Amino acid sequence: MALFKLSINNRSYDADVEQDTPLLWVLRDNLGLVGTKYGCGIAQCGACTVHLDGKAVRSCVLPVSAVGKGKVTTIEGLSEKGDHPVQKAWDEVDVAQCGYCQAGQIMTAAALLKEKPKPTDQEIVTTMSGNLCRCGTYHRIREAVKVAASKSNQ
């Protein structure tokens, strides 16, 4: 066990865990941030996507010891009131069926738009194809990313 000081959602957290513990399980089991989901544990589905220094990463394969001084953002910290353009677009387009994968989808989309505020259709599909949605809400995910892109530039 070792003590890790983590910066998550602009707050400082202490976690006393083994150094190989994936960030995902530190968030969920130790810090009570359960918005980040477990789906596969091998970086295949994207349900665990968080931002590390603004970039989308898979927290299920990121050991807590590798986070260092990096700034972590989870779905809980994407916006204060749930009004990030991507979150708003997800509601407007009514994307979710079961909803389990959507935090990861939203974090992936938010990172994409931060890097490329006006992505092409192909860039949206290529980026979002890394995230699985078992319910098959892909059409609406694609549409919501476009809606968010159009609104965040106004």
Partner 1 sequence: MKIAAAAGGGLFLGFNWTNSNALPVVVDAKSIAAGSIHFNAYLSIGIDNIITIVSPNPEIGQGIKTAFPMVVAEELDADWKLVKTVQGNLDTTIFERQVTGGSGAVPHSWERLRNAGATARHLLIEAAASTWKVPAAECSTENGNVLHKTSGKSLTYGQLAEAASKLEAPKEVKLKSEKDFKLIGQSVRNVDNLDIATGKPLFGLDFYREGMLFALIQRPKAFGLKLKSVNADAAKAMPGIVDVVTFENSVAVVGKSTWQVKKAKDALKIEYEKGAELESTADHNRIFTQLMDNGEATVRRKNGDAEAAFKGAAKVIKAEYQCPFLPHSPLEPMNFFAHVREDGVELVGPTQTPDRARTEVAKLTGIAPEKITVEITRQGGGFGRRLAADFVLEAAHVSKLVKAPVKVIWTREDDMTGGIYRPAVRYRFEAALDKNGEMIGYKLRGVGINSGNPTREDNFPSGSVDNLLIDSVEHKSPITTGPWRAPITNFLAFAEQSFLDEVAEAAGKDPVAFRLALLEKAKKSPAGEVKYDVDRMIGVIKMAAEKSNWGKKKGVFQGFSVYFSHRSYVAQVGEVTMEKGKPVLKNVIAAVDCGIVINKSGSLQQVRGGVVDGVGHAMYGNMTFKDGAPDQTNFNGFRLIRMSEIPEVDVHFVDNGISPTGLGEPALPPAGGAVANAFYKATKQRLRNQPFINEDAFKGIS
Residues contributing to the site for partner 1 (CB under 8 A): 1, 17-18, 20-22, 25, 28-30, 32-42, 44-45, 47, 74-76, 78, 82, 87, 90-91, 94, 96-103, 106, 125-126, 128-142
What is the Cα–Cα distance from 103 to 90, expressed in whole angstroms? 10
Structure tokens at 42: 């091998």
Nearest CA-CA partner of 93 in 130, 148, 53, 131:
148
What is the Cα–Cα distance from 134 to 11, expressed in whole angstroms? 33
Beta carbon nearer to partner 1, 7 or 100:
100
What 8-state DSSP symbol labels residue 63? B
Beta carbon nearer to partner 1, 102 or 147:
102
Beta carbon nearer to partner 1, 32 or 120:
32
What 8-state DSSP symbol labels residue 43? S
